[in-house]
Amino acid sequence: MSTLEQLAKEAASCTRCDLYQRATATVFGEGRPDSPLALVGEQPGDQEDKQGHPFVGPAGHLLDRALHDSGIDRADAYLTNAVKHFKWDARGKRRIHQRPNGTEIMACRGWLEAELAVVGPRVTVAMGAVAGEAIFGRGFRVRDHRGRLEEITVGGWQGAVLSTVHPSSILRAQDNDAREEAFAGFVADLVRAREALAA
């Protein structure tokens, strides 16, 4: 079986879809290599693409707050994204996130399957629709799965998946009240994942 280091090295030259052509880096997963908890996001953002690490931008900072409030130590988790390259569109000097399509998600799924097989988490948190689609397949909707622990087999990994929103969706909430409500719901989902590990 490959190690995470070997997988990351292989993924660095991935050309399974066209996203690599405009990305600065392949942003592979990081964290505890034998963690019982995996957190799967959608794709790298602008800062992740520039720095080459997952969850280091605004959504990552919000995730850090949520992990703290839910009693989860980020250092004890494994963090990755369903898609390893940043898909973006230029808007002036800014690079604006674009949602990966189904073909791009499925082209990258092999990397996620390999990561989960190596890490072997007991619980995986799928954050956002792209992460859910990579795990459950096309037609996934967060609202249909949110907060539920579902046993599933993904490639060579078998375990429980809890689906929730992506932290970036909280940042896009209309006002402070909506953001606070969305954040509280996100923390509650993470607490459920932590409690499932403790059970």
Q: 196: which 2 tokens? A: 């499932």
Q: Which domain holds residue 92?
A: 4-198
Distance CA 27, CA 34 (A): 19
Residues 138-178: tens digit of each pLDDT? 999 999 999 999 999 999 999 999 999 999 999 999 999 99
Q: What pLDDT, in 10s, does the model give residues 6-64? A: 999 999 999 999 999 999 999 999 999 999 999 999 999 999 999 999 999 999 999 99
**Farthest CA pair distance, the chain:** 50
**b/e map of 170-190 (b: 16 or more CB within 10 Å)?**
beeeeeeeeeeebbeebbebb
How far apart (Å, rounded) are the C-alpha atoms in residues 47 and 16? 23
Helix axes 4-11 and 102-119, enclosed angle (nearest 10): 160
Say which CATH number the domain at 116 has: 3.40.470.10
* Lookup: tokens for 110: 């092999």
Handedness of CA 167, 168, 171, 177 (dihedral sign): negative
Q: Torsion angle of alpha carbons 158, 49, 23, 135, nearest 10°?
A: 20
The number of domains in the chain is 1
Q: Which residues contact 131 (CB under 8 A, 6 or more apart)?
A: 40, 41, 42, 81, 82, 163, 166
Higher pLDDT, 2 or 133: 133
**pLDDT, tens digit, 9 for 90 and up, residues 99-124:** 999 999 999 999 999 999 999 999 99
Give residue for tokens 């019982």: 36
Residue 2 has a pLDDT of 80
Q: For residue 1, what pLDDT is reported?
A: 58
Q: Read off the pLDDT of each residue in 65-76 and give the average, rounded to a whole number.
A: 98
Q: Residue 149 belongs to what H/E stretch? A: strand 149-154
